[in-house]
Structure 1
Amino acid sequence: MKNAAIIGGTGYGAIELIRLLHSHKHIQLKKIISNSQHGEQISSIYPHLTSFIEEPMEKLEIKSLEKEVDIVFFATPAGISKKLIPQLEQSSLQCIDLSGDLRITSQDQYLEWYGAEAAPQETIDNAVYGLPEIYKEEIKNAKIISNPGCFPTSSLLGLIPAIQHKVIENSPIIIDGKTGISGAGRTPSAMTHFSEVNDNVKAYKVGKHQHIPEIDQYLSGIANESVTSTFTPHLIPMTRGLICTMYGQLKMTISTEEIIDLYKSFYQSEPFVRIRNKGEFPATKDMNGSNYCDIGLHVDERTNQLIIISAIDNLVKGAAGQAIQNVNLMNGWDEEHGLNNVPVYP
């Protein structure tokens, strides 16, 4: 049994971690840390946790963490973990960062897209990108995990088999992404106000979303040459769920049946990726509350394009579930442990 702490304990990602860790037989949640609300019961903010969490939230005491826990989940906004993880780098702690602080390997790129100074280069270099279906062996030996963003998880899982097997051109790749409101976090804003979101679909951060360099960076790594995508996210009036429809220009003659077989072979050992049969495509509700990524494929012979539709729960496979999947791999546990839940439907 290992003890865990969650730093940034009141956001939606943290709440999903609490829910999923409750059924994990190898991890005991020892500390929920919130500097802004320490001393309060988390059930006073989230009443559904009444009777599950008795201890009040705590203030961060970074020097005592190693004595009390083995695993630290950073469910913090961007800009926090890049300051904290370097202080823990020489400890025995396993650090899983759910923010974007360690995803971009170039400090200059981080500055350009996040508008702030990056983490120390040594910390960035020591972090492993936690996309288990692609970087499983690296994750097993990691101490620091940079958990992928929600849109990059869906996009990369959908695109990597086609890029690796050179089925589509490296550019242009079009990614049309749609996410529920929880993807914007719990802090209210004009954009997430009910009257702004209800009965509305809105594109945001057009051409400047911080997930763009993350997607391009890891696709380029797979291709061993530059890959460029055009990614546009949209906010839609639902609580959770995320879907990406992607378009790539075909480099070869291939049928829908053949590309489905390629994807099924690519992911045959991956328990959380499900490839749909011909003519079947995922909907966001199909993965609700689960760690699955469902992918549907279609070859458009008229335009010579591959159409890829990839859907996840943005709070589970796009955040907390993937973080736990990574911890399972880091500790040699069953990859599916604590995550093999049937999706919630309807």
Structure 2
Amino acid sequence: MNSSSCKKFNGIPLSVLDLAPITEGSTASESFKNSVELAQHVEKWGFNRYWLAEHHNMPGIASSATSVIIGHIAGATKNIRVGAGGIMLPNHATLVIAEQFGTLESLYPGRIDLGLGRAPGSDQATAFALRRTLNRGAEEFPQQLEELQNYFSENPVGHVRAYPGKGLDIPIWLLGSSDFSASLAANKGLPFSFASHFAPQYTIPALRLYRDNFVPSDTLEKPYAMVGVNVIAADSEERAQWLATSQQQQFLSLIRNMPSQLKPPIDDIHKVWSSFEKSSVEQTLDSGSTIVGTADTVKQKLQEFINKTKADEVIINSQIFFQEDRLRSYEILADMMG
């Protein structure tokens, strides 16, 4: 499941999840420039894949047109796998996704991943604006997955074909933050990526469910699980903790139902949240799957998390306000790989 050129952290490939953050006072255009710069660096440093996530109506996330930005990143890099982490399939006509990713795979053969989620990636009003109906929801996700796999088949059933798309080998991943996609990925014999970076309490049960019920398929002989981790690494503990307040503020804004652009770090996070809000943010950004500190701290905690989850791969999100600090955080991680 990993490219031969990637480096590894104690035998485990590391990948990048980019939420294409729009920092306070900046623009989507600047976000995309930063993403290209990051992708080019992490490719050089030996990371395995670079994924972008679909979100809507979020002022601090620029990757709403996910397949477009995937093409942009793939065009600016040479070897690293680029994909969706993920496409929220209920928001779309399945044929459109087949055609989009068929196009991407045709442009960048052997480099495109299609991770699929069943959440809307937005609120209900935004979901309605995307779909013009809420009749098709998460409960139809397994049917949509079947449709998508059929479009990519060499001999699809039915009159409708995806051109391009038909007969292309595009790896499909299922993404989840609960047990539903874990069970479906196991049943379908697909690779599974769990959002432990924001649903840490469900990580171990979902991975156990996936592995215990896995059915080998033409795609995969044995389970392959990737887990998400937030990492904010810096050259001093103090700077890492300070940089981490941007992500803490981002989740605080979500708790308050007031999503915002990614805010700059602040000196005292305790001045801006209540004890209840602090508890809620810390529950989401659990210390096991949110790692903040120097290289030594990150190395130790990342290994502990891999030991606990028995992950086959780790995908790392770093919501850091300053681009130079975001690059440095991934560089520190790269230095741990051999």
Structure with the larger strand share: 1
Structure with the larger helix share: 2
Where on the TM-score scale, by shorter chain, does this alignment land: which range? 0.3 to 0.5
TM-score, normalising length: structure 2: 0.34
